Chains A and B, each alone.
Chain A
Amino acid sequence: MAVCVAVIGKDNSPLYIGGVGNDTSTDNELSRQWLVHTALDALEERLATTNTGNAGTNTNTARTDLRDLYLGLLYSTDTHKIYGYVTNTRIKLVLVTSSTSPSGSNIRDAEVRTALRRLHALYADAICNPFHLPGDQITSPKFDKQVKNIMMNNV
């Protein structure tokens, strides 16, 4: 199962970070933030190479198509796998699965892709909320609920 989902703005400011499980404890929250934050480097690097086009073709990460918004597995630590997805508007979506838990360890790439696609859709709806100012954090509980949903059942 995905332990964490994050939406990050084009200026790499956190727009939304949600996690399932006992995410009330702050340290958990923090660790989640560390996780996503450190993932940004790889994400950006990947993006840069994507745009310049001459990215290393034979990297072992699952990157089917350069023009895919879904970047696939960014990298994996001993505990987590981190997947990236960048919209055309440079909004970065990050999904973290725990490689320790059985459900997370053998998750298929396709599932993550669909999950992130849906997340993107949710985001697009969320910012159409008239009370949401561009560039602000997403605080809508509806969005939160839906995201949690994705993390729970889909993955």
Chain B
Amino acid sequence: MADDILFELLHSEIINYSLEQSKDNKEKKDMDLSVVEYIGFAAGYKIMERLTREWPRFKDELDTMKFICTDFWTCIYKKQIDNLRTNHQGVYVLQDNAFRFLTNFSNGHQYLEYAPRDIGIKMDSDGSKNLNHNIRSIAAYSIIKEIQELLGTLTLR
């Protein structure tokens, strides 16, 4: 429906814009996502305050992660995480088989290199949420075989 696509379009535009901005001042080739990341952080920071308001206190990390996979994900990406795995030592693997910001990419690999930048904002919104949970998180993402699939690894310290 319209309002969903609205957000997606806005999101992709934001990314394009910020990339444009970062292009001229930086000459280094790798994309400068700091702007996007900050947007993601601030947005995440604020939205988390609301989302977790009615929730009982999280018992532990796993509790937190569950929240991320369900409520948070649904709130932002209109779906839950498809697969959550953990080694119970602070490493969590989130897998989303139809990541909202990537589903619009055509099937195929020609967009592979652009994919990371679109993830930028997302990665950070939950990066921030983790921050909000006093958990320093290192999020590493890899796009796997289907471009719509997102594999995110959070290492919680």
Give chain A's interface residues, CB within 8 Å of chain B: 10, 50-51, 53, 65-69, 86-91, 120-121, 123-124, 127-128, 133-134
Q: Which are the 10 A-B pairs with shortest beta-carbon distances?
A: A88-B52, A67-B56, A89-B132, A134-B45, A124-B49, A67-B57, A90-B134, A128-B46, A124-B50, A10-B134
Name, among A65, A66, A86, A88, the residue most crowded by chain B CB atoms within 10 Å (CB to CB): A88
Known contacts A10-B132, A10-B134, A90-B134: A66-B46 contact under CB 8 Å: no
Interface of chain A: mostly helix, strand, loop or mixed: loop
B49 touches A127 (CB 8 A): yes
Q: A68-B57, A124-B50, A134-B45 are in contact. List 19 more A-B contacts (CB 8 A).
A: A10-B134, A53-B59, A65-B56, A66-B59, A67-B56, A67-B59, A87-B52, A87-B53, A88-B55, A89-B48, A89-B49, A89-B133, A90-B132, A90-B134, A124-B49, A124-B53, A128-B46, A128-B50, A134-B42
Closest CB in chain B relative to A49 CB, distance in Å: 12
Closest CB in chain B relative to A102 CB, distance in Å: 33
Q: How far is the CA of A69 from the CA of B46 in the complex (A)?
A: 18
The 8 Å CB contact of A90, one of B46, B50, B55, B133, is B133
Closest CB in chain B relative to A155 CB, distance in Å: 21
Q: How far is the CA of A134 from the CA of B128 in the complex (A)?
A: 10
Q: How far is the CA of A69 from the CA of B48 in the complex (A)?
A: 15
Interface size classification for chain B:
10 to 19
